[in-house]
Structure formats: structure tokens, C-alpha cells
Amino acid sequence: MAVRRGRIVLLNGASSSGKSCLARELLEVFDEPWFHMPVDAFHAMRARKDLPRPELEALFMRTRQGFHRAVAGMARAGNNVVADHVLSETWRLEDILEQWGELDVTMVGLHCPLDELNRRESARGDREPGTAKSQFRVVHAGVEYDCEVDTSARSARGCAIEIKQIVAAQRRPGAFDRLVAGRGPR
């Protein structure tokens, strides 16, 4: 029995840009069932152990690689997925392009002014101060989008409705397909 592949909406933005709030709204506005898979949930599943910095960084990398493969697995099984991630390192996008290459992916960039990111980060209290600032200039580097939203200028619901319309109207090839094609032969 052939399984229809699910779609992926990838939300990329700096920490505190509103990815999780937007993902929750997308689940509400989409007509079909969708799953929200945040990379933070994968980090939250991990046992907290004191590790030397190099071991911790290797663990973080494996966690993110596992996240990329889990999202792909859900879509290949026929599930629609809203994935929220921070593409602040080049290898993350490269791994996603490799793992999700044949899947139907809508790329969404979340933008927010740095002062607002800092305010949100401080109000949250669950982030290391300066996380958003460290990601601000690199998170969108080399990434192409089907849709870009400013979460400081519009409500999460308004952004979700716009994204729903983009997803409904999107024809391939889209931004993700162009990114995959730009990688060249492997």
C-alpha cells in the first residue's frame, strides 16, 4: 500500500522570534491534522548531565541530526509536520537538504527586530542571555524562503493565516527545491 507523503513547514528564526507560538496557531488554522515538532522538545528529552564542552557540543549535534531524521520519518509516513528550528550553523541546513531532499517542504523565515528578541528572551527567563543576539545575524544566511513574516508587526494568528495561504497555493519547485538543486551532485 502506497503511503501519501506528508508535507513539512519549516519555521526558521532566532531564539524568541515566535516559532512555537506560530506553530501552535498553524495547527489551529490548517484544515488537516498537523504535528508540531520543535527542536527544543528533542533537547528537553535528554537527560541533564554535566559534560565537558566538546562532548556536550557533539551531543547537541547528534540531537539536531536526530531531529532532522525524525521530522523526515514523520513526513515519509504520511504525516504533515510543522518543524521549528534555528538554522544558525551551515551544517544544519545542509543536513536538512540531504535528509528531506525529496519531501514537500515550505520554507518560512521568521523575522523580529533584535531589541524585541532581547526583550522576549529576558521575559521568558528560560534562555541563556544573548542567545537571540548570537543567532540574529546568521540564522537566515544562505536560506531561501517561500514566505517571510515579521512576528513583531503581526499577530501569530495573522502570520499563520498568511502561511496557510502560501502552503495551499504553493507549487513545486519551491524555495526548498531550489536550495536542494543548488547543492550540486554529492
**122-171, pLDDT tens digit by residue?**
888 666 777 888 899 999 999 999 999 999 999 999 999 999 999 999 88
Contact between 88 and 131 under an 8 Å Cβ cutoff? The reply is: no
Among residues 40, 104, 115, 177, the one annotated as catalytic is 40
Domain at 7-181: CATH code: 3.40.50.300
Rounded to whole angstroms, the Cα distance separating 172 from 5 reads: 15
The pLDDT value given to residue 146:
96
Beta-strand relationship, 7-12 and 104-111: parallel
Q: Decide if 40 is catalytic.
A: yes
pLDDT tens-place string over residues 50-70: 889 999 999 999 999 999 999
Q: Scanning the structure block, which residue is given the C-alpha cell 540531504?
A: 98
**Domain limits, the chain:** 7-181
Per-residue burial over 46-70, b = 16 or more CB atoms within 10 Å of its CB, e = otherwise: eeeeeeeeeeeeeeeeeebeebbeb
